[in-house]
Amino acid sequence: MTQAIPNAPRNTRQRAEVLALLREVEGFLTAQQLHQMLVAREARVGLTTVYRTLQLLVDAGEVDSTRLPGGEQLFRRCGQSRHHHHLVCRQCGRTVEIAGPAVERWADEMAARHGFTDVQHTLEIFGTCAACAR
């Protein structure tokens, strides 16, 4: 039995295909890139369903989503569900999951100092990975 999406009444072939692909890729990719990969492997999943499934997975906490400075939304199935950040290659999407306890403390301290509550933050590092630099 392929892994199912939590709280999804029905397990369809399409969702299994998206999940299978997400397990194979290592970087952050756009919905369209993932869809093209599915087309390439003849998985027969519509673009609409890719978008819907990704949103479902994000809501379930199974997939992380971030955005390039340009605004394009990226998706990735990370190895951990705990709070963490990402070092992402702009060209190929290769990603390193990073933790920064000191940064977490600094952000909360800054917010508290200015009287802000109900605090959250976004932090992503973008660059060109060694492989793409060549």
Pick left, alpha or beta for residue 42 (phi over 0 → left; psi -120 to 50 → alpha; otherwise beta). Answer: left
Residues in Cβ contact with 96 at an 8 Å cutoff, skipping those fewer than 6 apart:
86, 87
48 forms part of the interface with DNA (CB under 7 A): yes
Whose Cβ is closer to Zn ion: residue 22's or residue 129's?
A: 129
Whose Cβ is closer to DNA: residue 14's or residue 104's?
A: 14
Instruction: Output the six-digit token pair for 15.
Output: 């969702």
In the complex, what is the shortest distance from the CB of residue 18 to DNA, in angstroms, rounded to a whole number? 8
Rg of the chain in Å (alpha carbons): 17
Judged by beta carbon distances under 5 to 8 A according to partner kind, the member of a copy of itself, Zn ion, DNA, none in contact with residue 119 is: a copy of itself
58 forms part of the interface with DNA (CB under 7 A): no
Q: Are 63 and 50 in contact (CB under 8 A)?
A: no
Q: What is the full DSSP assignment across 39-61? A: HHTT----HHHHHHHHHHHHHTT
Judged by beta carbon distances under 5 to 8 A according to partner kind, the member of DNA, Zn ion, a copy of itself, none in contact with residue 114 is: a copy of itself
46 forms part of the interface with DNA (CB under 7 A): yes
**Which residues contact DNA (rule: CB under 7 A)?**
8-15, 30-32, 44-49, 51-53, 55, 72-73
